[in-house]
Amino acid sequence: MAEAPKNFIERIIEEDLEKSTYGGRVHTRFPPEPNGYLHIGHAKSIVLNFELAKKYGGKCNLRFDDTNPLTEKQEYVDAIKRDVKWLGYEWDEERYASDYFDRLYEFAVTLIKKGLAYVDSLPPEKIKEYRGDWNTPGRESPYRNRSVEENLELFERMRRGEFKEGECVLRAKIDMRSPNMNLRDPILYRIIHAPHYRQGAKWCIYPTYDMAHGQSDAIEGITHSICTLEFEDHRPLYEWLLKAIGLPEPHPKQIEFARLELTYTVLSKRRLIELVEGGYVAGWDDPRMPTLSGMRRRGYPPEAIRRFCREIGVSKVNAVVPLERLEECVRDVLNKTAPRRLAVLRPLRVVIENYPEGQVEWLDALNNPEDPNAGTRKVPFSRVIYIERDDFMEAPPPKFYRLAPGREVRLRYAYFIKCVDVVKDEKGEVVELRCTYDPATKGGKAPDGRKVKATIHWVSAAHAVDAEVRLYDRLFLKEDPTDVPEGVDWKTNVNPNSLEVLYPCKLEPSLAGAKPGERFQFERLGYFCVDPDSTPERLVFNRTVTLKDEWAKLKQKTRGEAA
């Protein structure tokens, strides 16, 4: 068998395995901060970390990087755990950086004792000023050379709450002239007089990311600490701290990869919050949101998201992936798994003149042509049916194969019908079609072998179940939603038509008992998922994704050429 192509991270891991850098161990972690909901970008990291562990017989922890009590909440922890599980992963250990606060404090004391950290009493503005910039080396704080004893005492007083926020911080003593800003005496501990959602009022000093992350990795025995590209500059600090504290070797290895970007999507926490708080969407789980909870509600199967994350690969190149690619994965999975049903979204009444009044036939329909084991079901046929408005045109253009005056088409699983008359209202709008059917074509087969160009879907009017259907389109008008002229709000790129609600749509009766979360293909239309808002009295479906539509593409193309 041909070797599966390896990404650069797998290469590094295999080299470590070969050299036994970590005694043959592989231990990764997914380290979210519980201050927001997980989105498709996190999914890339989740899939990467968990599947790397699995592939090499290692472990993967779920670790909450909860070092900032101002923004973190248990609610987010719960949501994150739910989403990771939904995606299909089980962590080996559930850890919290906040559980390490005691040890982290001891690490800080160790650094002070080694003369590698000091309490700085410069106010925030001064610290910023002393840091310099890219072209100017920083200056050393006048407090940089306090004695170990003084630093120890000051740090202890910080812990006891004797200082106000901003009055002092603990800093690593590295190099104020370093071209890497992260090495200009980075802040390790700051004072925040706020209770922590897990630690309560125990602490009023909290470690920064740099102080907490690598040390947490080391505590947990993480071997490969995978993060995104923006932390590349932090790696020297990551390594410096591990060594300075004297954590046992081998130290975990930080590896950076490019985060996911998707067209027609924003993934920054800040922007996602703006969408929710600005009322552009109904909430974090709005089916238009790129959050995992939104996608779940939209009807995306977790398998599709996993597949997508594997397909896009891992590298260090900032890459924007077309949204269509995700949708293609969704279609792929649903095509194999979603039961087919007949549903008419925009009903047009059709009377079959030569079909006996009052007669009903229950016809056999395949549940899934892709899956022979899916079986069949019965759908009722009668004299009055609904078809899709789009499936009829009074003056059909070339290449339009569906119903038109005088034309014959097949009703899926039923009969051939021919349009003999068009009924309009006073405004000239088509309100009803009069058709005839050919009794010899029952089941959709013509014994004389004649062909029709199209097969359309339909629902018996007398048996139809009414439902609300929510049609979703991309949330933004532009591939890059943040692309706006100077001074213009990026949210002007929000698509005003990203949601269209249809009612009453007509469903075949077998859909009557559909439960929230159930997914179906409405034939010729797309995949649909029952929304949690759905009740037995009023069914609500979300359109997950449309089917590929050659006709729509053709229409668009000819329109483009005409323009």
Q: Give 15's contacts (C-beta < 8 A, 6+ positions apart).
A: 21
- List 84, 524, 529, 542, residue binding RNA (CB under 7 A): 524
DSSP letter for 427, please.
Answer: T
- Range 9-68, binding RNA (CB under 7 A): 11, 31, 33, 65, 67-68
* Encoded tokens for 355: 């079909």
If one asks whether residue 190 binds RNA (CB under 7 A), the answer comes out as yes
> Which one of the spans 13-21, 364-372, 464-472, 474-482 is the region binding RNA (CB under 7 A)?
364-372
- d(Cα 273, Cα 367) in Å, to the nearest integer? 41
Considering the complex, state which of residue 470 and residue 524 has its C-beta at the smaller distance from RNA. Answer: 524
Shortest distance, position 4 Cβ to RNA, whole Å: 9
> Which one of the spans 128-136, 244-252, 481-489, 497-505 is the region binding RNA (CB under 7 A)?
128-136
Q: Identity (one letter) of the amino acid at 456? A: I
Catalytic residue among 131, 269, 434, 555: 269
Shortest distance, position 53 Cβ to RNA, whole Å: 18
If one asks whether residue 547 binds RNA (CB under 7 A), the answer comes out as yes
Shortest distance, position 478 Cβ to RNA, whole Å: 15
Number of residues counted as binding RNA (CB under 7 A): 92
- List 217, 508, 523, 531, residue binding RNA (CB under 7 A): 523
Determine phi and psi for 560, rounding to 5 degrees: -60, -40
> Which one of the spans 129-137, 286-294, 481-489, 503-511 is the region binding RNA (CB under 7 A)?
129-137
- The three-point CA angle 328-331-333 to 5° equals 110
Contact indicator for 470, 463 with CB cutoff of 8 Å: no
- Range 315-344, binding RNA (CB under 7 A): 315-322, 324-325, 328, 331-332, 335, 340
The β-bridge relationship of strands 526-530 and 539-546 is: antiparallel
- d(Cα 348, Cα 421) in Å, to the nearest integer? 14
- Range 191-220, binding RNA (CB under 7 A): 191-192, 206, 208-209, 212-213
Shortest distance, position 523 Cβ to RNA, whole Å: 4
Contact indicator for 386, 459 with CB cutoff of 8 Å: yes
The residues facing 63 across adjacent strands are 95
Shortest distance, position 127 Cβ to RNA, whole Å: 5
- List 202, 399, 450, 515, residue binding RNA (CB under 7 A): 399
* Encoded tokens for 512: 């009557």
- List 168, 222, 275, 464, residue binding RNA (CB under 7 A): 168
- Range 226-265, binding RNA (CB under 7 A): 229-234, 258
Contact indicator for 60, 223 with CB cutoff of 8 Å: no
**Residue of 111, 114, 236 lying closest to 170 (CA atoms):** 111
| Active-site annotation holds for 259 | yes
Considering the complex, state which of residue 401 and residue 490 has its C-beta at the smaller distance from RNA. Answer: 401
Catalytic residue among 73, 82, 131, 259: 259
Shortest distance, position 533 Cβ to RNA, whole Å: 26
**Residue of 138, 119, 223, 208 lying closest to 176 (CA atoms):** 138
| Active-site annotation holds for 388 | no
- d(Cα 8, Cα 222) in Å, to the nearest integer? 18
Contact indicator for 7, 314 with CB cutoff of 8 Å: yes
Give the Cβ contact number of residue 401 at 10 Å. 15
Shortest distance, position 123 Cβ to RNA, whole Å: 6
* Encoded tokens for 144: 């940089």
Catalytic residue among 10, 33, 140, 239: 33
Considering the complex, state which of residue 318 and residue 535 has its C-beta at the smaller distance from RNA. Answer: 318
> Which one of the spans 79-87, 290-298, 443-451, 501-509 is the region binding RNA (CB under 7 A)?
443-451
Give the Cβ contact number of residue 488 at 10 Å. 10
Considering the complex, state which of residue 155 and residue 231 has its C-beta at the smaller distance from RNA. Answer: 231
- The three-point CA angle 81-85-91 to 5° equals 80
Q: How far is CA 75 from CA 34, 35, 72, 198, in A?
A: 8, 9, 9, 12
If one asks whether residue 370 binds RNA (CB under 7 A), the answer comes out as yes
Determine phi and psi for 468, rounding to 5 degrees: -90, 135
Considering the complex, state which of residue 208 and residue 532 has its C-beta at the smaller distance from RNA. Answer: 208
| Active-site annotation holds for 555 | no
Shortest distance, position 412 Cβ to RNA, whole Å: 4
Known catalytic residues are 33, 259, 269
